[in-house]
Amino acid sequence: MTAGNAVPELDPVIHAQARLRVVAALNTMGPSDEIAFPALKDLLGMTAGNLSVHLTKLEDAGYVQITKTHKGRTPVTYVALTKRGRLAFDDYTKAIRALLDSAGGTP
């Protein structure tokens, strides 16, 4: 590939398979929607520990917002994709498409 055909860099925070799955799932929700941690864990088929580690990386990047509250006496954790996270996912999907388009020669 020449410099004129450079493909944008893939966001390393999103590119990890588990984090990509998290961001893709959260992106299907509305901008003001959030999901309870256990529901997201079940949806993605991940362990609580694994999901927690990836959510921390996404939160550190500003891509997700974690809200800890109580429902009665029971603690509840909600997860939502931030505006920054939606923009990062949009940029990531554009970069992936560009990468795939640049590799798609005729057979």
CA dist 81 to 78, 89, 104, Å? 10, 10, 32
The token duo for 6 is 């450079």
| Candidate CATH numbers 1.10.1040.10, 1.10.10.10, 1.25.40.10, 1.10.3720.10; the one for domain 11-98 | 1.10.10.10
pLDDT, position 5: 61
Confidence (pTM): 0.87
Going by C-alpha positions, the residue among 74, 70, 58, 60 that lies closest to residue 26 is: 58
Averaged in consecutive runs of 10 residues, what is the pLDDT profile of the chain (107 residues)? 64 96 97 96 97 98 97 94 98 93 68
